[in-house]
Amino acid sequence: MKEQKEQLVVSAIKDGTVIDHIPARLLFNVIDILGLAKIENQITFGTNLESKKLNKKAIIKVSEVFFRKDDLDRIALVAPQVKINIIKDYEVVEKKVVDVPDRIEGIAKCVNPMCITNNQNVQTKFEVISKEPVSLKCQYCEKITDSNNIVILSHK
């Protein structure tokens, strides 16, 4: 019954990208990271759907958009467990997982309140010094932002 409901709420797309297994509380972070607020394509999403693995999950379906791998990888910063399905003519033609990239520009906020990036209009830049759990070293103030205090910046 619930499965059916899910299928009703988030209907299938003909061509495009499905981002599945998003922890429900991170749905809007993922929307921000991918800049979905800015695109004109048809987007459907569902949230607080039941999931055995995640308890409550969200799913996003974006019609006729095929993201670049490094754009998708940025999701891994907050939700490394997401699954990407590429859809062509209603069929899943490719499944992808996301990997934390080696460098991050923008997306995350530096944890240091005295960092230049938190005080002037300067984009954050980090070297990823650990991927599991995620740990970021600010290119500017050299301070470490770890997975417990990553704050995602909204897409401008």
Partner 1 sequence: MVGKSLISINDYSKENYMRILELAAEFEKNPKQNLLQGYVIATLFFEPSTRTRLSFESAINRLGGRVIGFAEAGITSATKGESLRDTIKTVSNYCDLIVMRHPLEGSARFASEVSGVPVINAGDGANQHPTQTLLDLYSINKTQGKLDDLNIFLVGDLKYGRTVHSLLMAMSKFKTTFNFISPDELKLPDEYKFYLDNLGLKYYEHKDFTEIISRADIIYMTRVQKERFSDPIEYEKVKNAYVLKNRMLENTKETMKILHPLPRVNEISEDVDENMKAYYFTQTLNGVYTRMAIITSILGLK
Shorter beta-carbon distance to partner 1: residue 91 or 146: 146
Q: Provide the phi-psi class of 55: left if phi over 0, else alpha when psi is between -120 and 50, else beta.
A: left
- Establish if 148 lies at the interface with partner 1 (CB under 8 A): no
- Establish if 140 lies at the interface with partner 1 (CB under 8 A): yes
Residue 14: burial class (beta carbons within 10 Å; 0-12, 13-18, 19+) = exposed
Q: How far is the CB of 76 from partner 1 (least distance, A)?
A: 24
Q: How far is the CB of 33 from partner 1 (least distance, A)?
A: 23
Structure-block tokens of residue 119: 């005080």
DSSP 20-76: EEEEGGGHHHHHHHHTGGG--S-EEEEEEEEETTTEEEEEEEEET----HHHHHGGG
- Establish if 119 lies at the interface with partner 1 (CB under 8 A): yes
Residue pair 45/2 in contact by the 8 Å Cβ criterion: no
Q: How far is the CB of 118 from partner 1 (least distance, A)?
A: 9
- Establish if 129 lies at the interface with partner 1 (CB under 8 A): no
- Establish if 122 lies at the interface with partner 1 (CB under 8 A): yes
Q: Provide the phi-psi class of 58: left if phi over 0, else alpha when psi is between -120 and 50, else beta.
A: beta
Q: How far is the CB of 143 from partner 1 (least distance, A)?
A: 7
- Establish if 141 lies at the interface with partner 1 (CB under 8 A): yes
Residue from 31, 104, 138, 150 touching partner 1 (CB under 8 A): that is 138
- Establish if 139 lies at the interface with partner 1 (CB under 8 A): yes
Shorter beta-carbon distance to partner 1: residue 47 or 117: 117
